[in-house]
Structures are given as structure tokens and as C-alpha cells.
Amino acid sequence: MVILVTGASGQLGQALQFIAGKYSGIQFHFCSSSDLDITKKQAIEDVFKATNPNFCVNAAAYTAVDKAESEPEKAHLINVDGAKNLAETCKFFNTTLIHVSTDFVFDGYKNLPYTEIDHTNPRGIYGKTKREGEQKIAENLIEHFIIRTSWLYSQFGNNFMKTMLRLAQDRDSLSVVNDQIGTPTNAIDLAEVIIKVIFSNSKNYGIYHFSNEGSASWYDFAKKIFEINQVNIDLKPILTSEFPTLAQRPKYSVLNKSKIKTEFKITIDTWEDSLVRT
Ligand SMILES: NC(=O)c1ccc[n+]([C@@H]2O[C@H](COP(=O)([O-])OP(=O)(O)OC[C@H]3O[C@@H](n4cnc5c(N)ncnc54)[C@H](OP(=O)(O)O)[C@@H]3O)[C@@H](O)[C@H]2O)c1
């Protein structure tokens, strides 16, 4: 079994590298953006020719949600054209593509967990390009799994948990948004699920939702991070309107995980339990 991982230096890419040692039956090829730029079709074909992967896990993406508003072309190039390049190359080489997408494809006007068949309506450039990337994959390749996830954190890369702990080193108080509801997801849990999908032999291709269980606001998430790490700080809940950002975010983006739990026979930890393990 050969697995090619793109975007290997990112948060999810590093989480996959962290767990890879447990799977001695798999030959992993981890490619960072400097090893393989997914916007370059010929470069992808060269790497596929050299490695002949059974599965390609696309952990590469343009993920700067606010910056995307002023760099729409770059976000499109990576999240749409890059995804299409991978899908076309996977088709040619008979490779199954596992692609990662986001809760930001939803507008957040629902107040029940989003299912895979719910209407998408991204609010910003990042979400729009991620949604278009999903569509390009579905149009070009049957053998694909798209896993939408939310609020990724881990000891790797840049993420909310690390930002909170860094800010707390220099400040006595912090204000965090309390009216956006979603679910934090441990990147290691997502990496393990990706491996389960690979080992499952499932041919039920398409979109799946995965996050940890439960729901929280960013304020709840920050509160738990500080509690677990025994950080004493004055944490204040604020409204989104008090913390304007360039990109609009969904107010509610909890994902319904019934489909992935049934298809791959998995149980999922609550976000609080998983955070304790980080
Ligand atoms: N982070 C979250 O909260 C979150 C939430 C929901 C969904 N997701 C999705 O989960 C996936 C993984 O996210 P993440 O947190 O691991 O993101 P990340 O830490 O930003 O990693 C993305 C990686 O993609 C690489 N990359 C960028 N442009 C590339 C290109 N043209 N060719 C190859 N690689 C390129 C980056 O490399 P450089 O650093 O060298 O540019 C980086 O290593 C993404 O699809 C994201 O949309 C993330």
C-alpha cells in the first residue's frame, strides 16, 4: 500500500507524519509544498510516476481565511485548480483521492448539525474556493473521499489552541468570540480517520463530515484550553460584532457525523476528551 501525502508540512500533514510510524504496512511519501506544488500539473504527474500511489491524501490548501479576501486568485489557484490537478492525475494513475474540506462551505444559518446533503453557501473567498475544489474533484474523479472538518487544532502548525497559549504568555486578559458555534477537531483524530478510510476498502465515495463530538463557542474552547493547561487569565466573552474580521464566518457550523460513523464503524471522542490528550 502506497500513500502520497501533499501539504505534508502543514498541520494535518504533520499529524499524519506523527502517526505514520504505527502503520508499518504502508509506504508513505510525504511531500511538502517545496517537494510538490499542487498547482503544477506536470510536477504532480512526475511524483505519481515515481511513487505510483494507491491513495493520495491532499492535506495541501490555502487556509488563510481572512487573507483570502484580498488574495482570491491565489486561493483559487491552490484550492480549486490544485484540487482539480490532483483529481485528474489520480484518474490517470488509478489512485483514490482523499481530500480535506471545511465547515466554512456552509453559511451558518442552520441551528442543527449540517449533513453532507445540506445546501452549501460559503460566506467568504476561502469557503467558496474550498467548495469549488470539492466540485472539481467530484466532476473529474469517481474514486474520491472528501472529508469536511472544522476548527482543527494540534501541537503542529498554526492553530487557535497554540495562539491562545501564546497570547496568554504576555497578557492578563483576553476577549474571545462567544457567538460562533462549531466543534474543535484534534488533527490527530482526523489523521487516524483518514487511515481508517484507506484501510476500509469502501467504495462508497463522496463527501463525509468529521469533527470531534459536541459543540462549543470559541470562548468555550479557549476556556477549556486554559483550564487544561492551568493558565490563569481573565477570559472575557465577546460578540462577533466586537471583533470584526475581513472574512465573514458561519455563526453555526456543527457537522453531523452519522454518515462517517456508520460507513467506517468509528466512534468519536468529545472535543473536551480529545483536547485533554493533546
Ligand atoms: N485549520 C483548520 O482549522 C481547518 C478547518 C477546517 C478544514 N481545514 C482543512 O484541512 C486541511 C488541512 O488544514 P491545515 O490546518 O493542515 O492547513 P495548513 O496548516 O495551512 O497546511 C496547509 C499546507 O498546504 C501547503 N500548501 C499551500 N499551497 C500549496 C501548494 N500550491 N502545493 C502544495 N502544498 C501547498 C502549505 O505549505 P506552505 O506552508 O509551505 O505554504 C501547508 O503546509 C485543509 O484542506 C483545510 O482547508 C482546516
Whether 110 maps to a domain, the answer reads yes
> Which residue out of 5, 6, 11, 155 has the highest number of ligand 1 atoms within 8 Å of its CB and is therefore the one to mutate?
11
**Known active-site residue 114:** no
Phi first, then psi: what are they for 124, rounded to 5°? -135, 175
**Residue tagged active-site, from 126, 208, 219, 252:** 126
Nearby residues of 273 by Cβ (< 8 Å), 6 or more positions away = none
Whether 103 maps to a domain, the answer reads yes
* DSSP states of 217-240: EHHHHHHHHHHHTT---EEEEE-G
In the block, residue with C-alpha cell 455563526: 251
Residue 244's pLDDT is what? Answer: 87
Distances (CA, A) of 11 to 59, 158, 194: 8, 7, 14
Helical pair 218-228 and 160-170, crossing angle rounded to 10 deg: 60
Domain of residue 121 covers: 2-159+185-214+253-269
For 262, the enclosing helix (H) or strand (E) is helix 258-263
Our answer on whether the CB atom of 9 is closer than 6 Å to any ligand 1 atom is: yes
Whether 6 maps to a domain, the answer reads yes
Q: How many structural domains does the chain have?
A: 1
**Amino acid at site 153:** Y
Our answer on whether the CB atom of 188 is closer than 6 Å to any ligand 1 atom is: no
Which numbered atom of ligand 1 lies nearest the CA of 78? 31
Our answer on whether the CB atom of 152 is closer than 6 Å to any ligand 1 atom is: yes
Along the 278 residues of the chain, how does pLDDT read in single tens digits? 999 999 999 999 999 999 999 999 999 999 999 999 999 999 999 999 999 999 999 999 999 999 999 999 999 999 999 999 999 999 999 999 999 999 999 999 999 999 999 999 999 999 999 999 999 999 999 999 999 999 999 999 999 999 999 999 999 999 999 999 999 999 999 999 999 999 999 999 999 999 999 999 999 999 999 999 999 999 999 999 999 899 999 999 999 999 999 999 999 999 999 999 98
136-169 per-position pLDDT tens digit: 999 999 999 999 999 999 999 999 999 999 999 9
Whether 167 maps to a domain, the answer reads no
Grid coordinates given for 6:
501533499
Helices (H) and strands (E) in the chain, counts: 10, 12
Whether 278 maps to a domain, the answer reads no
Other CB atoms closer than 10 Å to residue 22's CB: what's the count? 9
Whether 233 maps to a domain, the answer reads no
Our answer on whether the CB atom of 157 is closer than 6 Å to any ligand 1 atom is: yes
Task: Return left, alpha or beta for 50; rule: phi > 0 is left, psi -120 to 50 is alpha, else beta.
Answer: alpha
Phi first, then psi: what are they for 195, rounded to 5°? -65, -40
Distances (CA, A) of 231 to 161, 172, 227, 228: 12, 10, 6, 8
Dihedral in degrees, nearest 10, Cα atoms 121, 125, 126, 132: 60
90-135 per-position pLDDT tens digit: 999 999 999 999 999 999 999 999 999 999 999 999 999 999 999 9
Interatomic CA distance for residues 86 and 140, integer angstroms: 10
Phi first, then psi: what are they for 129, rounded to 5°? -70, -35
Q: Taking a C-beta distance cutoff of 8 angstroms, is the pair 260, 266 a contact?
A: yes
Grid coordinates given for 277:
490528550
**Amino acid at site 49:** K
Other CB atoms closer than 10 Å to residue 188's CB: what's the count? 21
Residue 5's pLDDT is what? Answer: 98
Whether 206 maps to a domain, the answer reads yes
Dihedral in degrees, nearest 10, Cα atoms 25, 211, 239, 109: 130
Whether 220 maps to a domain, the answer reads no
Ligand 1 center from residue 241 Cα (angstroms): 27
Which numbered atom of ligand 1 lies nearest the CA of 34? 40
Task: Return left, alpha or beta for 183; rule: phi > 0 is left, psi -120 to 50 is alpha, else beta.
Answer: beta
* CATH code for the domain in which residue 97 is found: 3.40.50.720
